[in-house]
Amino acid sequence: MKTVNVNISEGGIRIIWDRPFVVGDYLEVRMLLRYDQEDLVILCGRVVWSEHIKGELYRVALEFPCRYRAMKRIITCFVLHKEREYRTRKIIGHL
């Protein structure tokens, strides 16, 4: 399955997917995060909501359990790096 949009944080992920899921389902999530190095992150997330958007697209939110501390740190570092990168581009664009 192919995702078209991702919103990620240490606590979970929101994706747009081509099929619905039932709240309470568990899904394996595999992400290759690239910044200083490549990290393959594999976690199991619990579906906390799923809604139809249009056509065959669904917005799905997964929550990551607390037991994935090491993986969550990698995600946090990735998110902070991307936020810094975004702010730097935005500041340079205004100069």
Q: Which residues contact 19 (CB under 8 A, 6 or more apart)?
A: 1, 56, 58
Write down the domain spans for the chain: 5-94
pLDDT tens by residue, 2-33? 545 678 888 888 988 888 899 999 999 888 88
- Domain range 5-94, its CATH number among 3.60.110.10, 2.40.10.220, 2.60.120.10, 3.40.50.2300: 2.40.10.220
Res. 94 pLDDT band, cuts 50 70 90 = low
Res. 40 pLDDT band, cuts 50 70 90 = confident
- The Cα-based distances of 86 to 3, 15, 31, 93 in angstroms read 22, 20, 20, 10
pTM of the model: 0.69
